[in-house]
Structure 1
């Protein structure tokens, strides 16, 4: 390989690297713009949350737990209190058991 071929290979590598770097700079600019827009969108819910938090009295009960956590707590309560497992334990005459679903 002579010097001219080596210089040509180096020029090609440089051109390729420069093109790639320009593409990355362009992508960075796009991402920076998108990030700025998203940060603007984030301020709206944050501001709304602060306003709502200021309107809600401090003694308000917290929001209920997730449904799965509530179900887990109910199952745990029944397993810890075996005498309350069935309606028949509370209502021996099952016809007197209150209905929970419409007829």
Structure 2
């Protein structure tokens, strides 16, 4: 709905599978702060033929495993070996993320 009008949304393309996203290097996120974190997005053989735009969002395992908030982020995996995601630590205790987490 937009200003009282219903606008149908039809998906034109669907990804056949979710991609695994892992932390590129060990990082400490201090309490009450936010950080841009370098991550690797799992790639497959034909990625170079695609536009490479992906939406990175936290899954349930991330939400349950880490006391962090992740902003949904649009990335292009063909621009760089790593992508950046924004993580917020709303608590006073530091959080350590290890490579490949």
- By the TM > 0.5 criterion, same fold? no
Between Structure 1 and Structure 2, the one with more helix by share is: 1
Larger strand fraction of residues: 2
Larger Rg: 1
Larger RCO, structure (CA 8 Å, separation 6 or more): 2
Question: Normalization by structure 1: what TM-score?
Answer: 0.20
TM-score normalised to structure 2 length = 0.20
